[in-house]
Amino acid sequence: MTPPGAPRQHISRFRTALAIAAAGGVFAWFVPLVRLVPRAAESGPPPEASVDSVADAYWTGALADHAAKAPAAAEVLDALREDAAAAGERLGVRMGVGRGFVLTLRGEGAVTEVKRDGVGVVIETPAGAIDVVLRTGPVFGNAVRDAAGALQASDFVNSQEFNRVSSALNQRVEVNVLPRLRGLAPGQRVAFVGCVEVASARSVPRPLVLIPIEAREVPPHE
Amino acid sequence: MRHPLPALLTLGVACLLASGCGKPAAEAPSPPGAAGEKIEHGKFAVIVSTLNNPWFVVLAEAAKARAEELGHEAVVFDSQNDPAKEVAHFENVLAGGFHAVLFNATDSDGSIANVRRAKEAGVPVFCIDREINATDAAAAQILSDSHSGCVALAQRFVEVVGEEGEYAELLGLVGDNNTRSRSEGFHSVVDRYPGLKMVAQQSADFDRAKGLEVMESILQANPELDAVFCGNDAMAMGAYQAIASAGKEGHVKVFGFDGADDAVQSVAAGKMAATAMQFPKQMARQAAEFAHEHLTQGRRDFQQRTLVAVELVTPDNVAEYGDYGLKP
């Protein structure tokens, strides 16, 4: 038999629990214990393209276009001789902050000597002979990456990724271009497009040592 | 009849959880300027990884001086290479009404949270020299191109040491992107010459005293050592000291990185073989100028990363360098 007053106690406990739950809900509304944020709001930038895909796209795209427009060696060397700083401003690509710049130039000439790390080439021009060296040893530095001015450090998650693009491009030079030069002998003719990092206008190396990004032997009858 | 209390408690818990959905986090009070208001005379915090190294003292002082030249107050905070101290500095800065932070991080990953917290509080952070591995935290990062600098240094290393020999490497702080960048840049060249063998590689934390201690041990274990590459000039000067004490100066070639004044003088004196100039004053000044433009002109379109070229310093060109930069 249910004792008298039991239903009223039941209702009273119910109201108490409801009040506690409501108070807790109101409190938590103003002082949330957790915050659930939709995944989209926290998503960062899209995943970076792989270093190899960036290098491939640059090699066949921006760099190839840049090579097609490269000035003649005579124009570049004359400009450097006249005023190296002005030549850097007009013909070079500057990346970041510093005195250095990257030059790209095209030429055709005769092989004068073949050394372990480079091939000497003389280019005959109306103003006289120009000597350059096409590097055939291991390729280092950022000349190839920076030549076209198309890749920026800010496009990568950190500078290490940016540097790996340089390594990937240098490797493409070693695999795709240098083998065409290693079999050359003095007297043979070669056509090329090459790039070089100049550390400062005050210290332009002579002869220029170019990293070839395009090269082919020119047959004698051509 | 089932007891209603469990259901009501469940409802209460559901209310607690639901209260966290969709409601934006309580916003911290915005510092003056955060809403785009221009500030002509602000307060800059210069938070530097350590003042125990003269190179960073130059960095901090140059940042402070340029900020003051531009009309702002600047206070320098020394993190003592301790991420916990760096966190405390950021807390003080955000509570202290600073308008911008010129920041030299202790850890490329660990420091990101500090920068994000400042950003969320409306205080822009401009990183100097040391990178953080995030593209959406700092307002801008003005960084030394350490990797490229070490590629150039390593090519000089091969010219001086030759393509055969034994060498050691002293690394900087673990967790610092500069440590990795410099070592990777160096090895990207030297590892192409199989005749050059690295017989020891050890961290000396970018510290001169540790460089001395580590070099002493390496010399004892490797009496035929030909050269040592050190990830900064402080370690290189310590290493040179150890080499001189062992009577091996001239036999063991020392290569550093930074362009610290004592290292440049050492190169000029024919002691150290080469170093690389990082231009700390230029980086610090650029960071202060960016912060100035942010506050006084509302500029926001900074390149996330600006790389400042590092220049090789050898006996051939050392006369061009001094006082942590180019001589006038």
User: pLDDT per residue over B217-254, tens digit each?
Assistant: 999 999 999 999 999 999 999 999 999 999 999 999 99
pLDDT band at A79 (very low <50, low <70, confident <90, very high): very high
Q: Which pLDDT score is estimated for A24?
A: 75
Q: Contact, B232 vs B254, CB < 8 A?
A: no
- In this model, does residue A46 exceed pLDDT 70? no
* Contact call for A35 and B23, based on CB within 8 A: yes
Q: Which of A146, A158, A166, A198 to mutate to test the interface with B (most CBs of B within 10 A)?
A: A158
CA B212 to chain A, closest CA, distance in angstroms equals: 29
pTM: 0.81
Percent of chain B whose predicted confidence (pLDDT) is above 70: 89
Q: Give the Cα separation of B26 and B33 in Å (integer).
A: 19
pLDDT band at B18 (very low <50, low <70, confident <90, very high): low
Choose among B135, B282, B311: nearest Cβ to A45.
B135
- In this model, does residue A70 exceed pLDDT 70? yes
Task: Name residues whose C-beta falls within 8 Å of residue B101's C-beta, 6 or more positions apart in sequence.
Answer: B44, B45, B46, B47, B90, B93, B118, B123, B124, B125, B126
Q: Contact, B262 vs B237, CB < 8 A?
A: yes
Amino acid symbol at B174: V
Q: Which pLDDT score is estimated for B298?
A: 95
- In this model, does residue A65 exceed pLDDT 90? yes
Q: Contact, A142 vs A166, CB < 8 A?
A: yes
- In this model, does residue B32 exceed pLDDT 50? no
User: pLDDT per residue over B283-313, tens digit each?
Assistant: 999 999 999 999 999 999 999 999 999 999 9
Choose among B4, B131, B152: nearest Cβ to A158.
B131
CA B16 to chain A, closest CA, distance in angstroms equals: 5
* Contact call for B145 and A20, based on CB within 8 A: no
Percent of chain B whose predicted confidence (pLDDT) is above 90: 83
* Contact call for A25 and B305, based on CB within 8 A: no
Task: Name residues whose C-beta falls within 8 Å of residue B48's C-beta, 6 or more positions apart in sequence.
Answer: B56, B59, B60, B76, B77, B78, B79, B104
Mean pLDDT of chain A: 87
CA dihedral A133, A139, A142, A148 (to 10 degrees): 60
Choose among B5, B23, B145: nearest Cβ to A13.
B5
* Contact call for A32 and B143, based on CB within 8 A: no
Set of chain A residues whose Cβ sits within 8 Å of the Cβ of B136: 44-45
Classify B138 in phi/psi space as left (phi over 0), alpha (psi -120 to 50) or beta: beta
CA B247 to chain A, closest CA, distance in angstroms equals: 35
Q: Which pLDDT score is estimated for A38?
A: 44
Say which residue, B324 or A13, is predicted with more confidence.
B324
Q: Give the Cα separation of B115 and B141 in Å (integer).
A: 12
Q: Contact, B263 vs B289, CB < 8 A?
A: no
Q: Which pLDDT score is estimated for B6?
A: 63
Q: Which pLDDT score is estimated for A106?
A: 97
For A79-92, what is the mean pLDDT?
95
Set of chain A residues whose Cβ sits within 8 Å of the Cβ of B6: none
- In this model, does residue A100 exceed pLDDT 70? yes
Choose among B8, B131, B188: nearest Cβ to A18.
B8
User: Within the 139-158 window of chain B, which residues sit less than 8 Å (CB to CB) from chain A?
Assistant: 143, 145-148, 151-152, 154-155
Choose among B12, B20, B317: nearest Cβ to A203.
B317
Predicted ipTM of the assembly: 0.82
User: pLDDT per residue over A173-184, tens digit each?
Assistant: 999 999 999 889
Percent of chain A whose predicted confidence (pLDDT) is above 90: 65
Say yes or no: B138 contacts chain A, CB-CB below 8 A. no
Q: Which pLDDT score is estimated for B244?
A: 98
Mean pLDDT of chain B: 91
Q: Give the Cα separation of B81 and B178 in Å (integer).
A: 14
- In this model, does residue B1 exceed pLDDT 80? no
Say yes or no: B119 contacts chain A, CB-CB below 8 A. no
* Contact call for A25 and B15, based on CB within 8 A: yes
Size of interface A-B (CB pairs under 8 A): 134
Q: Which pLDDT score is estimated for B8?
A: 62
